[in-house]
Amino acid sequence: AKDLGRNSYQMYTPAMNARSFERLTMEASLRHAVTRGEFKLVYQVKVDMDTGRMSGVEALVRWNHPEMGLVSPAVFIPLAEDMGVISDIGEWVLREACKQCKHWHDLGLPPVRIAVNVSALQFRETKVPDVVARALRDTGLPPHFLELELTETVLMQRVDEVVVVLKELRAMGVRISIDDFGTGYSSLSYLKRMPIDALKVDRSFVNDIFDEEDKVTEEGAEIVSTIISLAHNLKLKAIAEGVETPAQAAFLQSKGCDEVQGFLISRPVSGEDLISLFDRDLLP
């Protein structure tokens, strides 16, 4: 134990030591992870609730660290933002996702959209429309098959500038959805001004529709219904993420939710493994 002064007292634990060591190791290698080809993408299906068919897929990045193994994006994305390398990673993800989607089209599979996550910092740091235009041109993917998922944080800062950028993207044919909707703070008046296509109901809300005894909770159910109605009133699609049970899917369908995504339908899988999920009824 170390005494750090009158009011602060900190335990110097081996666990803490390991954590900061891990962070340093990660930082050193994260800088080179793109050029060393250590990232890969996995894909999670989105299902159209009317047809039961795949309507799109979300690309999710994975880092295969040579010693540490698979590192979660929840860990390394914030680190990459701190280190100033998020835009390089983001651009790689975008190109790889477009390439994969074009590949599925070329195989003659029913054409689906690909959704790519764009971090708030990446959105502010780079000219996203330029990066997107290059990725689309180089891969040959038609723009209307690309969807960008942005968080509320992005949209509610420097609103006027953001509106201009989003309009530019949509003029190209790219779709925009708001990720983790309801977890950030967004003002409804701003939301109305945003040129967007869909709201994604955050997993935490989907999880709260039912309690441990699988009974509908009044508040949880109300929040999800309200977000779906809000989306529809604004002429937006409603997409629910983190759907794990048939009861959740049935509830969402009864409320008119347009698309669902979650372990109930499929975990994120490789581009190869996704092929078996095309052209099939995916709802339970």
Span interacting with Ca ion, options 39-47, 124-132, 195-203, 260-268, rule CB under 5 A: 195-203
Helix (H) or strand (E) holding 97: helix 86-106
Interaction between residue 259 and Ca ion (CB under 5 A):
no
List binders of Ca ion among 135-164 (CB under 5 A): 149
Residue 159 site contact among ligand C2E, Ca ion, none (CB < 5 to 8 Å, cut-off depends on kind): none
Nearest-angstrom CA–CA distance, 267 and 181: 21
Span interacting with Ca ion, options 36-44, 67-75, 84-92, 109-117, rule CB under 5 A: 109-117
Minimum separation from the CB atom of position 268 to Ca ion (A):
11
Per the CB < 8 A criterion, the answer to whether 243 and 249 are in contact is yes
Q: Which parts of this chain interact with ligand C2E (CB under 6 A)?
A: 44, 60-61, 72-74, 77, 90, 93, 117-119, 179-180, 203, 241-244, 262-263, 268
Minimum separation from the CB atom of position 76 to ligand C2E (A):
9
**Cβ nearer to Ca ion, comparing 23 with 253:** 253
Residue 91 site contact among ligand C2E, Ca ion, none (CB < 5 to 8 Å, cut-off depends on kind): none
**Cβ nearer to Ca ion, comparing 29 with 80:** 80
b/e sequence 40-76, b meaning 16+ C-beta within 10 Å: ebbbbbbbbbeeebbbbbbbbbbbeeeeeeebebeeb
Interaction between residue 122 and Ca ion (CB under 5 A):
no
Interaction between residue 117 and Ca ion (CB under 5 A):
yes
Bridge partner list, 40 = 62
Per the CB < 8 A criterion, the answer to whether 197 and 176 are in contact is yes
Minimum separation from the CB atom of position 8 to ligand C2E (A):
33
Per the listing, tokens 């599979």 go with: 109
Could you tell me which of 217, 218, 263, 215 has the C-alpha nearest to residue 242? 263
**Cβ nearer to Ca ion, comparing 50 with 273:** 50
Per the CB < 8 A criterion, the answer to whether 118 and 150 are in contact is yes
> What would the two tokens of residue 239 be?
């997409």
Q: Which residues bind Ca ion (CB under 5 A)?
A: 50, 117, 149, 179-180, 203
